[in-house]
Structure 1
Amino acid sequence: MLCFSPPGSSHRALQKRGCLHVVFLTSWLLPQSSPEEGPEWSREWSAARRLLLVVSLFSLLLGSSVLWVYIFRNCGPRPCETPLCLDLLARYQASGNTSETPCTDFFSFSCKKAKRISDSFQALAEENKKRLKRLLEDPESWHPGSGEEKAFQFYNSCMDTDAIEAEGAGPLKQVMEELGGWHISGNRTSFDFNQTLKLLMSQYGHFPFFKAYLGPHPESQHTPVIKIDQPEFDVPLKQEQEQKIYAQIFREYLTYLNRLGTLLGGDPIKVQQHASLSISITSQLFQFLSPVEQQEAQDKHFQMVTINQLQEMAPAIDWLSCLQATFTPMSLGPSQLLMVQDLDYLRNMSQLVEEMLLKHRDFLQSHMIFGLVGTLSPALDSKFQEARRELRQKLRELTERPPLVRRESHVFSRWGDPSTRLSAMELFTEIKDALVAHLKRLPWISEKTRREAQNRVTQLQVQMGAPEWTLKPELARQEYSNIQLGPNFLQSFLSCVRSLQARKVWSFLQPLPYHRWQVSPWGVTASYSIPDHEVVFPAGLLQPPFFHPDYPRLTVVVMDEILHPGDCLDCDTRALQEALLCLERHYAAFPLPGGTSFSGSSTLLENAADVGGLAIAFQAYSRSLLEYRGETKLPNWDLSPHQLFFRSYAQVLCREPSTERSQAPHSPPRLRVHGPLSNTPAFARHFRCPRDALMNPSSRCQLW
């Protein structure tokens, strides 16, 4: 900035204004000659003066530009120097490769080194378990008489392996006696099939022939209905499985059952016979299952029937007695409606049970006992657990994937940082506001549907962290009041199983508004509840590296579940279909490693949700930058806040493609990065991508 001296300004006044160097310069450049000096000298001096003036002005302009750069850099987002931000920076640098060109391959730019890093969500889930373990092992984390005390007692009982080993198979044999004994163990009373089945379902959480659970009614989302579904087999069977693999799976499972029977003190010859018949029952039940495609073609996916009607179709099961015991305190009667999947399976299953009760009654009981022992394995001594681990390892080698059955126990949770919850709520509000504004610009949506969608988004509720009762000591004590610990770990385990089942039933019977917390507070997956019109972000997800109040405001919150444009009856169908077809071609244009191809038709709606989620999240983020003056960036990293936003989006997807791609609901991670980002003009603008670069195509799809 140039300063000029008004007439009469003193040397000291100019010095105070910071303009003294300009005064010296201008006074030196002004003519100093007297009238007596000749015109030749004057002309030479004028030329020299003009040259010096040009040089001086250039120097001043250069100095001003340097000054502006200095001001710009120091007035922009400040670097976040906290340990959490430094750790986030290290994570990003460890997974990406900045030598890759972001406009050509942003996935490699962000994720090339991620092959050495586990899935981000899986890694966070493991870290959450470690945090929970540290809390449970800290004697100062709980107070005597609090609701948390039972959680610590349960954990300590679980970790007391010496006591569990000393008990051996004793606690399990006690369970056998409660069920009427077991023929091959030499201690047996009369076997009542339906009485045993009722106890297995209601007291032990084991469903050997079918699965029964509560869910929302299809016509009234706030009304619970009992659903009868296909069973979950203890072995990973598939209907298109090769016969050779099928036989190998059953051989390994037979070895496992023989081992269980021996551990329970059974005669090896009798154990072999009963294990073989149990395998036969499992095989027949599996053969009864109708393929999902056939059920959909015949409209048999789920059907409404009364308990009386089901009793006539599958008479071997005392449906009313078994369901009433399982879903207490619901009041059931013969006219109670049920949602049933695959009635043909239930008919055949019932017929098989009747035949076994006539010819092989003891073998049917053994089949039920074998399944129960597998369910209770996590609470048994090391011999039973080792048998279970070896079975899973063998099955994993045969099927090249983990077994279908996976059980985890989360005892309790904490959500104690108000700043985290407040910051996350602010972020969700920004996303919701951006979605309302975004709906105004959708070309394929009718005005009526637009208003309805905006109202639904406005009314959308959010739950964050953990259920409210976990934060209130008195409610926590009540929640755990029906859990009775001891005298051994198996009995404590079973008490927790029964308490969990009762809590699920009770939650469905509560009048609205009542939030049914469907996910574990320590989970890492957000969920959307259709009947409650509520989105849930568990405490386990709102953790580094995905979220923290001290982070730059970069978290991409994507509500895929409510962004699917599939059921819009009042929309411009033609415009919507054209946009979706454009998106399918858009994804097909991206190459995959090794020259592989990927058909996006099966993941089209998920792709649309990804594109919409990114667009809305970026709109919310850009708006927050205008309103929020405390934005930070990662230190010593040459990425602007907008660039870091897109880098953060890609980081979440840095993982290996699914080994079961045909069953995956989403596109491969590389396409989930390239597809939405290349369809976002702001990405190309902030990374200065040249026209027609892979990440800056000449045309984009106008879906969101």
Structure 2
Amino acid sequence: MSETPVELELQLSIQPSPQPELERGLQPPLPTQDPSETHQQTQLQPEIQPSESNPEQQQQAKPLWIKHRKLLLLFWGFSLCAAFLGLIYYMHQNRQNRSNNQTVTVTPCLSPACQWASARLSMSADQFREPCEYFLFTCGSDRLSPDRGGGQRGQGIPGHPQNQNGKFVWPERRGQSKEREDRGLREGKILDRKTVLLQYLRKILESNDSASSSAVQKAKGFYHSCLDTRSIDNAGEEPFLTLIQKLGGWAVSGRWNQTDFNSTLSLLMRDYATFPFFNLYVGKDPKEIARGTTKRYIQIDQPDLLIPIEWNNKTQKSQAKAQTLRPFLATCQRYLALLGAPDSSSMIHVGMFMSLSSELAVTAAPLQYRLSKGQLYQRMTIKELQIQAPAIDWLGCLQAAFHPLRLIEDDHVLLHNLPYMVQMSPIIGKWLNKHELSTSGPLQTYMVLNLLHTLMPALDSRFSETAKNLSVALGNTEGVAPRWKHCVLETERGFDSVLTHLLSERTAHREAKEIVQNIFSSFKSKLHELKWTDQKSLQSVMKKVQSLIPRLWTTSEISSEAELDLLFSEVSVSTHSFFSNYVQLLSLWQKKRRKLLTEQIEAFDILSVTPLLLGNELLFPMGMFVPPLFHPNYPRAMNYGAMGFLIAKDILHLLLPDIYSQSETVHAVGGCVWAHYLTMTEKASRGGAFSLSAAQQQEVWVQYSALQIALQAYHQSLKNHPGDTSISGFSLTRLFLLSFSQVNCDFDPYHEFMPLEPSFLITVICAKSHLCPTNLQCPNKTQQHSLQTC
């Protein structure tokens, strides 16, 4: 139920103080005089007043009154002045509180965004009506059950990869009402931030705006051609077979011009972003970054091999997985059959492809092994690389990939597995020089099948189904992403600058900057409340924090639609030919890579949803500030409850990755919150409690502190800019907590360390404070009187 204006005023009159949250709690205003005492005084008053019915007593009292009348008049005057001043002070404070918080009446938010948010909130459970149920089971995870050994976060969450059934029922709660089951399923659909951003980009791409620029229309046309699976299926394999003929054909089809190996490889790299024998990247040298150098280099790495491989710790070599060779063989045969290869010859070509793949696999090594051997970022010139691995025309291939840039033999490149390059060269030479294979073209077939893998997203469903079957055979049980998500991701690969422009246009820059600044300010004040192991630790952290400049991460690379139109002027998007559109996307992708090498600009990742450190700047991507997590027309309580919490959590993870050993507060708060959980669930009394690890205690502290930081920042925003609207008549604090509960299942790299559902933190916040509209206590929990404020 919604709160009265008095309750609202009490809640928001609480202002942050420099005292630690652990010690001060959230105290209510001082109580006024007890009404029972006033009533008692009223009853006693007739007994102490002189009686008018006794004249003798009046005559005896009159001389005493006349004798002390000056003193009485003076006392009466002082009393009147004190009462008058007190009344003025009370009226001033009351007016100030009302003007600061504007909580006497909650102004409803009636914007379309708020109406949509109201409908969304109505689909969620009201945690203040069923606190015992909501805060313990909101994400549907059973990982805390002692009978299950703690489990693992994510199991039991509808839609989670570890729970493919999409539905979970608590063992001890079977047979409950259909209403609660439906509620659990609704809440299980809480989305992670990356999916929220992709859905927002989808809405932009599907919007019908005839006034859009040419570049925007091409991006939307590309997206819609990707969605047109009927046209893709009708085209079948013909677009790919036509492309093979442009590359000189291949022996599998019986038509091959016996093209030069390095010439074909150069074409694949330049026009189709395909790298069969090695990978290409563009990036900086970590050794130079420390010196402030911004130069970028071509970086050459081992390829992403199509054949499944595994690392043998005994031999320290990679090898093909024996148990996957049969399904991989069947998959290759199926691909050739779909491309029209005759059965009589396909097995020979598949056998040679697998043999060559296996030989290359032996020379590959996992990243961790290469890192331990110092094989990353090895610098050498193109000329030196040519001597080490002569089978590849390195200068010719790199010039083709970065055309029209001028590269010379003395240019430096960075290698991430030189031993692979050295061993790859004789393998290629051997297969090139086998005279008995001269007409079979095994290297050409190898390159064509790698090109097929690159273009797989643009081919009909028969190819994607074949790839899916292999993935299942390899033990991958993850579901296939919906088509719209696949198409948004593919559109971003080629038209990222267009989507960045569209996203920037729709981002509320002023509101986003304001919440970032307020959360960061509240975060810094939180650091001073911690009990540090030593002063040196505090100084080190504060020095790092004080040097940072938080800002919204935008890009000035493309500043106008006219520039975008010029950039994409050579792109021709076909409405019903996604394959031709996709081939152009690959060319755009390679141009973007070339641009990174020549221009000293930072690559902008439009799909980023968490802040990052770049020098002394703390950058917050625009993709964080999208509905339903953030909207400029939402009440600020909603924005701070959801996005404010996420920002605070991200900052704590980014700037304090390992604070457990530096602060006593982390251990104390983590233990306190855990005690709340054990009491509420009665696990301690049943002997089902298990202790938290250091990582778990730190994550509990991070998320609890993030909620406190967001709430403190919201109160400060109300103090600086009084007034806020609300939704559905909820008080501002209640709306804040409701908004927080909508994102409590957000998945981040640390979610596996969170031993309880984050929404449970609301009960800890409300345990001994007067912020919450309802006392979140369960009638059947007898130990709640002992709960302490964390």
> Partner residue of 1:373?
452
CA contact (8 A) 1:202 1:326 kept: yes
Give, in angstroms, the shift of residue 579 of structure 1: 6.4
Find the aligned partners of 2:723 and 2:327 in 1 and give their Cα distance.
Answer: 60
Find the aligned partners of 2:568 and 2:252 in 1 and give their Cα distance.
Answer: 37
SS at match of 2:210: helix
CA separation of 1:670 and 1:313: change in aligned 2, threshold 3 A: same
CA contact (8 A) 2:215 2:568 kept: yes
Give, in angstroms, the shift of residue 475 of structure 1: 1.1
> Partner residue of 1:337?
412
> Partner residue of 2:251?
183
SS at match of 2:490: coil
> Partner residue of 2:612?
528
> Partner residue of 1:462?
552
The question of 1:641 aligning with 2:725 is answered no
SS at match of 1:85: helix
The question of 1:430 aligning with 2:521 is answered no
Give, in angstroms, the shift of residue 107 of structure 1: 5.0
Give, in angstroms, the shift of residue 275 of structure 1: 1.9
Find the aligned partners of 2:388 and 2:199 in 1 and give their Cα distance.
Answer: 49
Give, in angstroms, the shift of residue 268 of structure 1: 1.9
Give, in angstroms, the shift of residue 671 of structure 1: 3.9
> Partner residue of 1:58?
none
Q: Output aligned runs, 1:498-509, within 5 Å.
A: 498-509=587-598
After superposition, the C-alpha distances for 1:78-111 in whole angstroms (9 at most, x for unaligned) are 3434453344344445444637875897353577
The question of 1:538 aligning with 2:622 is answered yes
Aligned partner (choices 279, 286, 296) of residue 218 of structure 1: 286
Give, in angstroms, the shift of residue 300 of structure 1: 3.5
> Partner residue of 1:57?
none
CA contact (8 A) 1:256 1:388 kept: no
After superposition, the C-alpha distances for 1:585-642 in whole angstroms (9 at most, x for unaligned) are 78988789998989866789877765665454343223112222232333255xx534
Q: Output aligned runs, 1:620-631, within 5 Å.
A: 620-631=713-724
Find the aligned partners of 1:348 and 1:101 in 2 and give their Cα distance.
Answer: 65
> Partner residue of 1:208?
276
The question of 1:148 aligning with 2:216 is answered yes
> Partner residue of 1:124?
196
Find the aligned partners of 2:254 and 2:376 in 1 and give their Cα distance.
Answer: 43
CA separation of 1:103 and 1:389: change in aligned 2, threshold 3 A: same
Report the more deviating stretch, 310-319 or 691-700: 691-700
Find the aligned partners of 2:738 and 2:339 in 1 and give their Cα distance.
Answer: 56
Give, in angstroms, the shift of residue 652 of structure 1: 1.7
Count of aligned pairs: 613
CA separation of 1:670 and 1:169: change in aligned 2, threshold 3 A: same
CA contact (8 A) 1:228 1:341 kept: yes
CA separation of 1:176 and 1:597: change in aligned 2, threshold 3 A: farther
Aligned partner (choices 343, 348, 354) of residue 423 of structure 2: 348
CA contact (8 A) 2:299 2:413 kept: yes
Report the more deviating stretch, 586-595 or 314-323: 586-595
Find the aligned partners of 1:216 and 1:503 in 2 and give their Cα distance.
Answer: 16
CA separation of 1:372 and 1:244: change in aligned 2, threshold 3 A: closer
SS at match of 1:127: helix
SS at match of 1:652: coil
Find the aligned partners of 2:138 and 2:728 in 1 and give their Cα distance.
Answer: 19
Give, in angstroms, the shift of residue 463 of structure 1: 2.2
Quick one: which amino acid aligns to residue 420 of structure 1? A
Give, in angstroms, the shift of residue 562 of structure 1: 5.5
Q: Output aligned runs, 1:104-503, within 5 Å.
A: 106=135, 108=137, 113-116=183-186, 117-121=188-192, 123-125=195-197, 127-128=199-200, 130-135=202-207, 138=208, 140-142=210-212, 146-155=214-223, 158=226, 168-221=236-289, 222-234=294-306, 239=311, 246-247=321-322, 249-328=324-403, 330-359=405-434, 360=437, 362-380=441-459, 382=460, 385-396=461-472, 398-402=474-478, 408-410=490-492, 411=495, 412-413=498-499, 414-415=502-503, 420-438=508-526, 443=532, 449=540, 452-457=543-548, 459-464=549-554, 467-468=555-556, 472-485=560-573, 489-503=578-592
Q: TM-score, normalised by structure 1?
A: 0.71
Find the aligned partners of 2:763 and 2:385 in 1 and give their Cα distance.
Answer: 53
The question of 1:84 aligning with 2:94 is answered no
SS at match of 1:535: strand
Give, in angstroms, the shift of residue 696 of structure 1: 9.8
Give, in angstroms, the shift of residue 462 of structure 1: 1.8
Give, in angstroms, the shift of residue 309 of structure 1: 4.0
CA contact (8 A) 1:261 1:271 kept: yes
Give, in angstroms, the shift of residue 180 of structure 1: 2.4
Find the aligned partners of 1:94 and 1:253 in 2 and give their Cα distance.
Answer: 46
Aligned partner (choices 596, 603, 606) of residue 516 of structure 1: 603
> Partner residue of 1:47?
none
SS at match of 1:377: helix
Q: TM-score, normalised by structure 2?
A: 0.64
The question of 1:547 aligning with 2:547 is answered no
Quick one: which amino acid aligns to residue 282 of structure 2? L
Quick one: which amino acid aligns to residue 719 of structure 2? L
After superposition, the C-alpha distances for 1:284-332 in whole angstroms (9 at most, x for unaligned) are 4344333444334333454444434443443333333323322345544
Quick one: which amino acid aligns to residue 667 of structure 1? E
> Which fold has the larger relative contact order, with Cα–Cα distance below 8 Å and residues 6 or more apart in sequence?
2
SS at match of 2:569: coil
Find the aligned partners of 1:605 and 1:357 in 2 and give their Cα distance.
Answer: 58
Quick one: which amino acid aligns to residue 179 of structure 1? L
After superposition, the C-alpha distances for 1:418-457 in whole angstroms (9 at most, x for unaligned) are 6733222221222233345445556465576456424432
Find the aligned partners of 2:388 and 2:695 in 1 and give their Cα distance.
Answer: 36
Q: Gapped runs of 5+ residues in structure 2?
A: 1-44, 56-93, 142-182
Find the aligned partners of 1:249 and 1:330 in 2 and give their Cα distance.
Answer: 42
Q: Gapped runs of 5+ residues in structure 1?
A: 1-28, 40-67, 659-663
Quick one: which amino acid aligns to residue 376 of structure 1? L
Give, in angstroms, the shift of residue 400 of structure 1: 3.6
Find the aligned partners of 1:87 and 1:255 in 2 and give their Cα distance.
Answer: 50
Quick one: which amino acid aligns to residue 327 of structure 1? F
Give, in angstroms, the shift of residue 182 of structure 1: 0.8
After superposition, the C-alpha distances for 1:365-415 in whole angstroms (9 at most, x for unaligned) are 2121112112112223x3xx3222242145236424349998633344324
SS at match of 1:219: helix
After superposition, the C-alpha distances for 1:212-258 in whole angstroms (9 at most, x for unaligned) are 111233134432233333433446655489x9994554433333322
> Partner residue of 1:576?
662
Find the aligned partners of 1:353 and 1:114 in 2 and give their Cα distance.
Answer: 57
Find the aligned partners of 1:585 and 1:37 in 2 and give their Cα distance.
Answer: 70
SS at match of 1:491: helix
CA contact (8 A) 1:84 1:550 kept: yes
Q: Output aligned runs, 1:611-626, within 5 Å.
A: 613-626=706-719
Quick one: which amino acid aligns to residue 285 of structure 2? H
CA separation of 1:153 and 1:675: change in aligned 2, threshold 3 A: closer
After superposition, the C-alpha distances for 1:174-211 in whole angstroms (9 at most, x for unaligned) are 32133222111122112322222222222111122232
> Partner residue of 1:673?
758
> Partner residue of 1:21?
none
SS at match of 1:212: strand
After superposition, the C-alpha distances for 1:157-178 in whole angstroms (9 at most, x for unaligned) are 5566676566544432332133
Give, in angstroms, the shift of residue 340 of structure 1: 2.7
CA separation of 1:262 and 1:346: change in aligned 2, threshold 3 A: same
CA separation of 1:485 and 1:231: change in aligned 2, threshold 3 A: same
> Partner residue of 1:632?
725
Over the aligned positions, Cα root-mean-square deviation in angstroms equals 5.0
Give the % identical residues.
Answer: 24
Give, in angstroms, the shift of residue 460 of structure 1: 3.5
